[in-house]
């Protein structure tokens, strides 16, 4: 800490404001003087930095966390060492931590709280699928940006802390959120993170820690031996299903918890979809006015008029369905036979004395509710079940629209590729089908109306995946054909054939991965031939920039010259120097504006280079803005000039 205070500059980072400090070090708001952006710079304490084994574990695991690129995970920009000071440069997110929301007992709606945890689970699912376990999920490690985006922070740090246990025998971590196996040095699995998520969700719902005590030992004793208070005994208005989800996540036996973050996320999504029903909201949430968030208000005011008219038409249709349903129930009641009135003096069968001459009203026959449905019935089986008698025509039309949208999404490959929107769409439709068969018309109509746009989004997402897979196969084909090394050619050809087979089976995600694997084999072998370009000039320049990135990844100046024939000797030497100091290079060129004039064109292009520095082994990222000029040759477009405008 003393050394940190003396530093005003760490490597290329200017230290501006102290954000916070903890057991492992301090976090500064810092300015990257090379890329010219603000970052969150974490400086590790000298205690950890002096231990060579801890240093190596930290560098290795921080690199592993650095490869995680997900909207709900903090991005690691750089890690390294300057004057003996280990540092990590991370994405700087303006907002507040979940711990701040809990400390102020922020009046968040239940839906919003679930949305936050669903985003946390989405990020953790991605990390777990890439072999990274967080180990220290807690409210202060979950940040909510000013736009409402959740970011999970401090990946890899918890494992570094646990590495210090063997030296001192002390348990390092956050006891209130640690799973029992962390306390007992048991096996760490993804279920370990889910226990911590359960603790976080419990505290976010009740503003009370599930395990709390005066000392660390009392907290750890509770974690190992004591069950927390049932969720609904602390917050009685919460749904019973949510209590079951939290209890399962916080089960002390790892095998009895959710085994994947996707499982827990799906359970919360089902509860979240149920809360979208008007009947559920009025039962579970207190009535209060909530103003529209500013981003939503901007979205409404800037939406084209025809979209607003279409939305109002859908809402009007729902209102008519509800009105028709309510009028139908009134009509049924009006058509029922009038209660029979006993004649004066006539005997009446009753268990209580009746005054002579007083009318006696017969009790109506109680309505037998429909038998309860098993909510675990799969949706495909549920939609094939017989429909209720005398189904409202308007409600039947809404159901037909939702099922038609589902068929279109399935035909596009949305279910096969498990696109994000299809999960919510299927849950909404499942909720609607249950409501229809249980006589809850409002819930059914709301679910059908809500499911249609989600299925349409799923179809769009699937079509985008199909296009990406098709482009990946098209780009990989000439690369595979250009490989001359027999072993590499065989491996690349196998991956490309697998990509074709997966594409035919509509498994677009795996097809794209297989095609990119084939392309990487060729690029690693130094093969990066130009791809076929479309007729449209702007689309052709887009393909050219993709080829340029692939040529940079191959680290071959000869491949660059195929796309940039007029490259000067000085430029070629600069690229050679860059290639020598970078490994595992990943380049990207994104055009901002493209101006076409006949057979020439110009563009402003944002360049991004991610690589591992050969000298330090640290992951680095460099960005630049380029002014590029192009010319159309006999068949294709080529680069004629590149000039860096700013870095």
**CB 136, CB 220: distance < 8 Å:** no
Tally of CB atoms within 10 A around 148:
13
Query: CA nearest 87: which of 76, 98, 95, 75?
Result: 76
**CB 549, CB 587: distance < 8 Å:** yes
How is 103-154 classified by DSSP, letter by letter? Answer: HTT----HHHHHHHHHHHHHHHHHHHHTT---S---GGGEEEETTS-EEE--
Tally of CB atoms within 10 A around 227:
12
**CB 271, CB 239: distance < 8 Å:** yes
Give the Cα separation of 496 and 514 in Å (integer): 6
96 DSSP β-pair partners: 144
**Would residue 19 be called left, alpha or beta, if left means φ above 0 and alpha means ψ between -120 and 50 degrees?**
alpha
CB-side exposure of 614: number of CA atoms within 13 Å?
9
Tally of CB atoms within 10 A around 573:
11
Long-range CB contacts (within 8 A, 24+) of 445-449 = 445/318, 445/321, 445/322, 445/325, 445/395, 445/398, 446/276, 446/277, 446/278, 446/318, 447/273, 447/276, 447/277, 447/402, 448/395, 448/398, 448/399, 448/401, 448/402, 449/314, 449/317, 449/318, 449/398, 449/402
Q: Which is the catalytic residue, given 136, 154, 164, 553?
A: 136
Query: CA nearest 395: which of 472, 323, 338?
Result: 323
Whole-number Cα distances in Å, 26 to 1, 12, 21, 395, 616: 8, 17, 4, 59, 23
Q: Structure tokens of 606?
A: 């944002």
- 122 belongs to the catalytic site: no
**CB 493, CB 480: distance < 8 Å:** yes
Three-state DSSP state, 41: strand
Long-range CB contacts (within 8 A, 24+) of 140-144 = 140/97, 140/98, 140/99, 141/97, 142/97, 142/98, 142/116, 142/200, 143/74, 143/93, 143/95, 143/96, 143/97, 143/98, 144/95, 144/96, 144/97, 144/98, 144/101, 144/116
Q: What interhelical angle do 261-275 and 110-129 show, nearest 10?
A: 160
Catalytic sites, residue numbers: 136
């Amino acid at each position: 800490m003393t050394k940190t205070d003396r530093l005003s500059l760490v490597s290329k980072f200017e230290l501006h404001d102290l954000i916070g400090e903890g057991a492992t070090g301090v976090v500064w708001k810092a300015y990257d003087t090379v890329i010219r952006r603000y970052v969150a710079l974490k400086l590790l304490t000298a205690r950890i930095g002096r231990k060579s084994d801890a240093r190596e574990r930290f560098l290795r695991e921080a690199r592993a966390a650095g490869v995680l690129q997900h909207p709900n995970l903090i991005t690691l920009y750089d890690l390294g060492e300057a004057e003996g000071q280990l540092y990590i440069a991370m994405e700087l997110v303006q907002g507040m931590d979940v711990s701040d929301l809990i400390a102020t007992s922020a009046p968040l709606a239940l839906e919003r709280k679930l949305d936050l945890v669903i985003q946390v689970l989405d990020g953790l699912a991605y990390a777990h699928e890439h072999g990274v376990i967080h180990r220290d999920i807690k409210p202060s490690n979950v940040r909510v940006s000013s736009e409402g985006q959740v970011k999970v922070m401090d990946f890899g740090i918890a494992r570094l802390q646990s590495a210090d246990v063997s030296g001192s025998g002390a348990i390092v971590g956050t006891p209130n959120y640690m799973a029992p196996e962390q306390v007992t040095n048991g096996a760490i699995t993804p279920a370990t993170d889910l226990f911590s998520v359960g603790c976080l969700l419990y505290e976010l719902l009740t503003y009370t820690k599930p395990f709390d005590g005066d000392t660390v030992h009392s907290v750890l004793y509770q974690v190992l031996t004591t069950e927390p208070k049932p969720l609904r005994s602390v917050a009685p208005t919460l749904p019973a299903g949510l209590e079951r989800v939290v209890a399962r996540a916080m089960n002390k036996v790892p095998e009895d918890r959710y085994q994947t973050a996707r499982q827990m996320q799906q359970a919360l999504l089902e509860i979240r979809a149920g809360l979208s029903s008007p009947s559920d909201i009025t039962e579970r949430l207190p009535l209060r006015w909530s103003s529209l968030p500013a981003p939503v208000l901007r979205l409404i005011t800037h939406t084209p008029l025809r979209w607003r008219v279409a939305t109002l038409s859908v809402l009007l249709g729902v209102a008519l369905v509800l009105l028709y349903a309510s009028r139908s129930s009134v009509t049924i009641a009006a058509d029922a036979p009038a209660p029979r009135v006993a004649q004066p003096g006539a005997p009446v069968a009753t268990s209580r004395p009746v005054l002579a001459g007083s009318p006696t009203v017969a009790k109506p026959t109680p309505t037998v509710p429909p038998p309860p449905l098993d909510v675990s019935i799969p949706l495909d089986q549920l939609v094939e079940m017989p429909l209720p008698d005398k189904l409202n025509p308007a409600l039947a039309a809404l159901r037909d629209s939702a099922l038609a949208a589902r068929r279109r999404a399935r035909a596009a490959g949305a279910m096969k590729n498990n696109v994000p929107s299809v999960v919510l769409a299927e849950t909404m439709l499942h909720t609607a089908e249950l409501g229809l068969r249980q006589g809850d018309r409002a819930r059914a109509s709301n679910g059908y109306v809500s499911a249609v746009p989600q299925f349409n989004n799923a179809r769009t997402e699937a079509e985008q995946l199909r296009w990406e897979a098709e482009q990946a196969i098209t780009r990989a084909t000439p690369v595979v054909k250009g490989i001359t090394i027999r072993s590499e050619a065989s491996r690349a050809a196998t991956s490309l054939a697998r990509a074709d087979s997966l594409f035919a089976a509509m498994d677009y995600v795996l097809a794209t991965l297989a095609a990119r694997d084939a392309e990487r084999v060729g690029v690693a072998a130094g093969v990066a031939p130009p791809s076929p370009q479309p007729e449209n000039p702007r689309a052709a320049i887009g393909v050219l920039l993709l080829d340029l990135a692939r040529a940079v990844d191959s680290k071959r100046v000869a491949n660059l010259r195929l796309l940039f024939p007029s490259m000067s000797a000085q430029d070629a030497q600069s690229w050679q120097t860059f290639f020598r100091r970078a490994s595992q290079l990943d380049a990207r060129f994104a055009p901002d504006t493209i101006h076409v004039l006949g057979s020439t064109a110009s563009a402003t292009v944002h360049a991004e280079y991610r690589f591992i520095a050969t000298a330090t082994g640290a992951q680095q990222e460099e960005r630049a803005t380029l002014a590029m000029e192009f010319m159309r040759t006999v068949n294709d477009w080529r680069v004629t000039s590149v000039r860096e405008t700013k870095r």
